[in-house]
Amino acid sequence: MAFIPKQIASVSVPTHFRCPISLDLMHDPVTASTGITYDRQSIDKWLEMGNNSCPATNQHITQDELIPNHALRRLIQEWCVANRALGIQRIPTPRIPLSKMHALQILNEISSSSVRGDGVRCSASVAKLKSLGKESERNKSCVVSCGGSRVLAAAFREFSGEGIEGSKLKLVEEILSALVFFFPLDEEAKQHINSPSCLKTIVSILNHGNLAGMINAVILLRKFVSSLDVPVINSVAKTKGLVEGLVKLVQTPISSQATKAALAVIYYLVTTDDRLSAKFTELNLGCLVSEMIIDCDKSTCEKALGVLDGLFNCERGRETGCRNALTMPLLINKLIRVSDLATDFSVSALWKLCKNRDCCAVEAVQAGLFQKLLFLLQIGCNNVTKQKASDLLKLLNSSRSSVDCVEDKKFRGIKRQF
């Protein structure tokens, strides 16, 4: 435990100060209806795992029945102080956990103040709710279980609309921050967010909000479209300024988290509608993503490759990819080095580029794709990627005769599987 250093193993902790579950010194002792006292963290975890009985007596208990044992906690604190010379630190006095009644009371304040249009009262209640949620995972779970996301989403909708600026922009940013903090969204919350006024406000924050607001806006969009619900994605895609805002986050990164979230949103959009692929291509996203792939971490690289593959769903995207001198070398370079997911995206993108494009096939052969594909088939990949790799080899084989293709020594002797 943090309060009893390992070097003081000789200190004997009184048995009644130890939690029956963890056998460690209790920091926040609570007594169940069965009369047995546990450390709150241990018994909460026990109940959250689906158990509904007292570990010691096997009698039925609930989380709401746990009562703080202040007398025992004070005794433990006095014992810690008495043994301070041995290196034992005093346990802090724990905060009182948020009750469902208190959570519902705050949520009701948020709901009523938003309906009245009282931004000041709503802002104070939202800040209070988020502060309590940050104190512990238990508090956060309590708010979520009380329908926190739907109340916050409804409040966000009440204050959304045209001409969001100044104090109103700050208010919706605060509500958005709390909404993201208390994920996940339930169905009612999603219906609120899917309204035109909410989506317009989210895009407004994405383009004109402060740094935290922009990050929260794109994170919310990522969670929102990740369900792959086509009507939802269509609603998001139709929102004016969304595509431009997402491209701006890629072009001018504000944080790694925001960049990854933006790439994820773009991926869901371009893989759902080829028209969106064309729209993103017009904004030069293909070139931006290609430059990003040169030097980025694994997670970003995977998302960027996925976006590039999605852009190649449309003819204009493939044309732009073929004209970009970076595209072919980058895709071939990332074919095996990054991850299985990156391999899948790279092979798919290369397959889209080379199919019915002799110039791309010749460039791919010159860049060493033929040997890389042979190696990939040798080490193995999933069935879809394997089929595309085999198709690519057949396409490239017809171009090899016109190219002075010298095999790298490390690929010699590999059996061709087509």
- Tell me: the pLDDT tens digits for 139-149? 999 999 999 99
List, for residues 203-214, the tens digit of each pLDDT value.
999 988 899 999
Q: Mean pLDDT of all residues in the chain?
A: 88
pLDDT at 161: 79
List, for residues 107-132, the tens digit of each pLDDT value.
999 999 999 999 999 999 999 999 99
Closest CA to 236 of 217, 221, 220, 219: 221
- Give residues with Cβ within 8 angstroms of 385, minimum separation 6: 343, 344, 347, 348, 376
pLDDT band at 96 (very low <50, low <70, confident <90, very high): confident
- Give residues with Cβ within 8 angstroms of 288, minimum separation 6: 247, 250, 251
With 80 as the cut, is the pLDDT of residue 331 above it? yes
CA angle, 36 then 38 then 42, to 5°? 140
Does residue 381 sit in helix, strand or coil? coil
Average of per-residue pLDDT across 164-182: 91
Distance CA 176, CA 198 (A): 10
Question: Of the CATH numbers 3.30.40.10, 1.20.120.80, 3.40.50.11540, 3.40.640.10, which one belongs to the domain with range 6-86?
Answer: 3.30.40.10
Closest CA to 342 of 392, 314, 399, 381: 381
pLDDT at 403: 55
Retrieve residue 80's tokens. Answer: 């810690």
pLDDT at 365: 83
User: Is the separation of the CB atoms in 343 and 381 below 8 Å?
Assistant: yes
pLDDT at 307: 95
Q: Listing from the earlier edge strand, what are the strands of the sheet with 37-39?
A: 37-39, 29-31, 67-68
List, for residues 284-327, the tens digit of each pLDDT value.
999 999 999 988 999 999 999 999 999 999 999 999 988 888 88
pLDDT band at 398 (very low <50, low <70, confident <90, very high): low
Lowest model confidence (mean pLDDT) among 309-318, 356-365, 405-414: 405-414
Phi-psi region of 50 (alpha: psi -120 to 50; beta: other; left: phi over 0): left
Strand locations in 112-229, DSSP E?
Answer: none
Residue whose structure tokens are 């990627």 = 385
Distance CA 285, CA 297 (A): 19
With 70 as the cut, is the pLDDT of residue 367 above it? yes
Reported pTM: 0.81
The domain locations on the chain are: 6-86
One-letter amino acid for residue 88 of the chain: I
List, for residues 3-25, the tens digit of each pLDDT value.
454 444 567 899 999 999 999 99
Alpha helices in 187-314 (DSSP H): 187-193, 196-208, 211-225, 230-237, 242-251, 256-270, 274-282, 285-294, 298-311
User: Is the separation of the CB atoms in 220 and 259 below 8 Å?
Assistant: no
pLDDT at 229: 80
With 70 as the cut, is the pLDDT of residue 238 above it? yes
Question: For residues 368 and 190, which has the higher predicted lDDT (pLDDT)?
Answer: 190
With 50 as the cut, is the pLDDT of residue 100 above it? yes
